[in-house]
Each structure stands twice: as C-alpha cells, then as structure tokens.
Amino acid sequence: MRCVVFGATGYLGGRLVPELLDAGHRVRAVARDPGKLDEVPWRERVEVVKGDVTDAESVARALDGQEVVYYLVHSLQQRDFVDLDRRAAQTVATAAAGAGGVERIVYLGGIAPEGQELSPHLRSRKEVGEIFLGSGVPTVVLNAAIIIGSGSASFEMLRYLTERLPAMVTPRWVHNRIQPIAVRDVLHYLVHAATVDKTVDQAFDIGGPDVLTYLDMMRRYAVVAGLPRRVVVPVPVLTPWLSAQWVNLVTPVPRGIAIPLIESLVHEVVARDRDVTAHIADPADGLTHYEHAIELALDRIRDADVPTRWSDASNPSDPLPTDPDWSGGSVYTDVRERHTAADPAKLWEVIESIGGEHGWYSFPLAWSVRGWIDRMAGGAGLRRGRRDPRRLHTGEALDWWRVERLERPHMLRLRAEMRLPGRAWLELSATPSTPDGTGSTYRQRAVFEPHGLAGHLYWKSIAPFHDVIFGGMARNITGTAEHQEVSA
C-alpha cells in the first residue's frame, strides 16, 4: 500500500518507515526539514516531501495519491502543545477526508483512564484520536502507556533515575500500575494497522504482557542492568511539578517534557481489553516481557545502535542570520581562524566528533557549570550527549545543540537549544590551506542574536571569557587534529 508518514523524523516515525518498507509498502516521508532525512539508511527507498501538519496546502500535497496516513506527531516540547496538536490534527483529518484516495488513518495515542480528570498530555492524546475517529476516514487509534526502547523519553527517564540514584525519595504515584510495551511490539501493531479491514474505525489499547508499578519497573531495571537493589521511599508531598524538577536535574529529559510525562503517571494506565487481537494478531514469538524489552534496549545502547531518540525531534527554527547588518545590526559574532599542518580530512574527523564523550575542547569546568545552570532553568544541559561518537546526522541532538546543517567534510553548523535571552549558532569548518591539500584552515564562528536588553547584556557579560572558551576551542581542535595525524 501507499503509506504517508507524518513525523518521519521523530522517535517512532524514524523506526516505522523501514518496517513499512520491509513489509512491502511504498512510503512517503513528510518532514518540515527534509534535510534531516538525508543520511538515514532508508533514504533512497522512500519519497521525501516537505510538509507541516499545521499548513493545509502542504498536508494536501503530502496526501495526494496516498492510501494510508500515519500520524506520529506530538508537540510535547512546546508550551501550547494542546492547542497546537488540536489544530494540526484537524488540518490533517480535514485534508484526509477530502483527499479521495485515503482509505485509512493510523494514530498512536496514550491509554486514558475513564472517569478521571486527565493530565493535559493524556487529554490531548485522547482528543487527537477523537478528531481522527470523527473525520469520516476509517481510523485505527492505538493507545499505549510507557514505551520501552532505546532512546524513548520514558525509557531514558526510567534509566537515568534508576542508574544514578541508589536511594531516592519518590511521590506516591510510584505505586500506580502501568502496562509498558516494547517499542518493537508497538511497531508490529502500527505496521499491521495499515491492512486491517476497511470497516474498522476504532480505538484500541495496546500493552505488553506485564502490568507493573513504576517502583517495580525501577527495581526490575536495576536487576537487568546488574545494579544493587534500589532503596525507594515514597512520600505524599511530592507533586508532579516538583518531581519534574528532580527529573530535569538528574536525567537528560528537560522539564518541559518531564512535567507532562510525570503528570500522566499520576494515572494508572493499563489496557482495558485485548480487542486489538481480533484485527491484528500478536507477534509470532509473542509480546515482549518487560525484562527482555530492557535487555534489548540496553544492548542497543551498548552497541551504539540507537536509530532514533526522543531528543532528535525538534521544533523548526528560523534561519541563521548570516548578515552582520541583519535585524538592525544586532547580531554579535566571534570568529576564529587557525592554520594547521593537519590534513583537512583529519581536522574534519575532530570537528565531527565534538561533544558527547569527547567534550568541547575548552575549559571543561565552564562548560559543565553552564550545563548545570541550563538544567536548573529547564533546558537541555549537556546530558543528551550524541548518538554516535564519530558521525553526526542533520537534525540530531548534540548535548545542548542541534545539528542544523552538515556539509561533510567541510562544515558543521549547530543551533543552541540552551536557555538564552536570544538565539545562538556555532559553525565549524575545515578547508585545505593550499591547492594541493597540504595542511588546512580551521574556521570557527559563533553567532548570537540577542532578544531585548537582557540579550545584549548577556553577550557583553561573557565577552571577557571568549578567548578562553572560543579561542581555546580553536587551539585545542587544531592541536588535537595535528596530534592524531602524527600518531597515525
């Protein structure tokens, strides 16, 4: 079948596309920034189109000639995500109903307990599902609780809390029951939803074979990971908001995502029935038990084989203001250039491996302190790391940066996602110094567009440290390239 996937650059969308291809479907992947899909291993097997779920014209173009619509978009990282998700779902639902050839919509939502005041996160997921079910196009809504898989926000929150805190004080919701599901089982249901009978227009709860409390999940994770037994003391005074502040400090999941996720844990999220099996059979080898799902996720992390991560999904940004006179001349830059005897290819290797375990090549203490300040302010901090220690991909998260542009082996541009009174970019490039390629030139440009007086004051306050931070980075990157070339 001809399938169009909205959210192909996201955590689940990036994993669903190759599964659909392997099942024999033709796939069109929709992205606000198609460049983010340039380096995925399945790029040559799909049609990539530019589209935004809030733009009716681009949605209509994306749906043209398609039979199955997969909607895997969620704006959790934005404050107004409820309104934004409602508007986006209505746009896609209306376009699908008017497209003519669309036979099926498939949406992944969340299990929402009945008769309770739902969290904004669960209420929004339920509302989006209802919008699609009311579209007039046969729809399959698959509702899941916590998804266990390498790179998912829920799994990362669980992993970091358990690994970093041998003892912890927790809120009462750690005793609430949850039915986690392995990401590979979610993908199984999603793929087979494309071919269910055309008369099916229904929401289904999906879950793994185990019903656990969050406390059980942490303790069982510790066993699988080979950690000592965790000491957990539940107390009644920790609200979801306070819990999210702690998650924000201890895990890579920023407060903006942690709050709605934790607010949802206040509810017991257990599948009400197994009606889905009347239309989609379970995987041939059965549903994945919780401990095995943890083992699979940890194996991928150890092997650096994490194809998608929650942090790789980002909001679109305005282009880099490259003109110094842009916006009335209120763009600050710090430009450093150094010539080095290192080969351009060796210099590029160092540039592309920046961040994560390799660090930022200047004043580590300053970077760490700035990272902690950012975490306390609800930002990304330095804990997102990087997916692969050597190779980057357009659109992926890199500590508190986002890879905005990658022109291998010449230029890397990063967009800051730290909490700032303005917008910032860091651009690193390597070019041959002479026509025959002997030696190379390293160029580094930091760009800051201030927002209001606070932005101007921020730049001026850190200007005295630029030589240590930016100058040190340029010196150390070129020095590392030279050292590695000599060592080789």
What's 130's domain CATH number?
Answer: 3.40.50.720
Question: Within a domain: residue 321?
Answer: no
Same-domain check for residues 46 and 183: yes
pLDDT value at position 317? 42
Question: Within a domain: residue 9?
Answer: yes
DSSP 439: S
How many structural domains comprise the chain?
2
Where is pLDDT greater, at 454 or 443?
A: 443
Same-domain check for residues 276 and 394: no
Mean pLDDT of 141-169: 81
Where is pLDDT greater, at 251 or 22?
A: 22
pLDDT at 111 over 60: yes
Same-domain check for residues 305 and 333: no
Same-domain check for residues 363 and 252: no
The proportion of the chain whose per-residue pLDDT surpasses 70, expressed as a percent, equals 81
pLDDT at 315 over 50: no
- Provide the 3-class DSSP secondary structure of residue 138: coil
Strands (E), 327-479: 332-340, 397-398, 401-407, 411-416, 422-432, 440-450
pLDDT in tens, 13-40: 989 999 999 999 999 999 988 888 887 8
Of 271, 287, 312, at which residue does a domain stop?
312
pLDDT value at position 328? 35
Where is pLDDT greater, at 1 or 420?
A: 1
Alpha-carbon dihedral 126, 129, 130, 132, rounded to 10 degrees:
160
Same-domain check for residues 165 and 223: yes
pLDDT in tens, 124-153: 889 999 999 999 999 999 999 989 988 777
Could you please report the per-residue DSSP string of 42-83? Answer: TGGGSEEEE--TT-HHHHHHHHTT-SEEEE----TTSTTHHH
pLDDT value at position 245? 62
Question: What separation in angstroms does the CA of 12 have from each of 8, 105, 178?
Answer: 8, 16, 20
List of residues 6+ apart from 325 with CB closer than 8 A:
none
pLDDT at 214 over 70: yes
Mean pLDDT of 98-121: 87
Same-domain check for residues 260 and 339: no
Residue 48 neighbours by CB distance under 10 Å? 19
3-class secondary structure per residue, 89-127: HHHHHHHHHHHCCCCEEEEEEECCCCCCCCCHHHHHHHH
Across 61-65, 80-84, 231-235, 456-460, the highest mean pLDDT is recorded for 61-65
Question: Within a domain: residue 360?
Answer: yes
Mean pLDDT of 381-401: 80
pLDDT value at position 407? 87
The proportion of the chain whose per-residue pLDDT surpasses 90, expressed as a percent, equals 40
Same-domain check for residues 113 and 14: yes
pLDDT value at position 256? 61
- Sign for the CA dihedral angle at 464, 254, 322, 404 comes to positive
Strands (E), 238-323: none
Same-domain check for residues 181 and 246: yes
The strand pairing partners of 399, in sequence order, are: none
Instruction: Retrieve residue 360's tokens.
Output: 């930022």
Question: Within a domain: residue 319?
Answer: no
Question: Within a domain: residue 317?
Answer: no
Question: Within a domain: residue 318?
Answer: no
Of 312, 342, 359, at which residue does a domain stop?
312
Of 288, 312, 336, at which residue does a domain stop?
312
pLDDT in tens, 56-70: 999 999 999 999 999
Same-domain check for residues 298 and 385: no
Where is pLDDT greater, at 29 or 315?
A: 29
Residue 166 CA to residue 171 CA, distance in Å, equals 16
Question: Within a domain: residue 100?
Answer: yes
Same-domain check for residues 237 and 107: yes
- Provide the 3-class DSSP secondary structure of residue 338: strand
69 neighbors 92 (Cβ within 8 angstroms): yes
pLDDT at 323 over 60: no
The strand pairing partners of 448, in sequence order, are: 332, 424
Same-domain check for residues 336 and 254: no
Query: Residue 367 is part of a domain; what is its CATH number?
Result: 3.30.530.20
Same-domain check for residues 404 and 467: yes
Is-above-0.75 flag for pTM?
A: no
Where is pLDDT greater, at 258 or 23?
A: 23
pLDDT value at position 321? 45
Question: Within a domain: residue 169?
Answer: yes
Mean pLDDT of 245-260: 63
Average pLDDT, the chain: 83
Range of the domain at 411: 326-487
Mean pLDDT of 176-196: 94
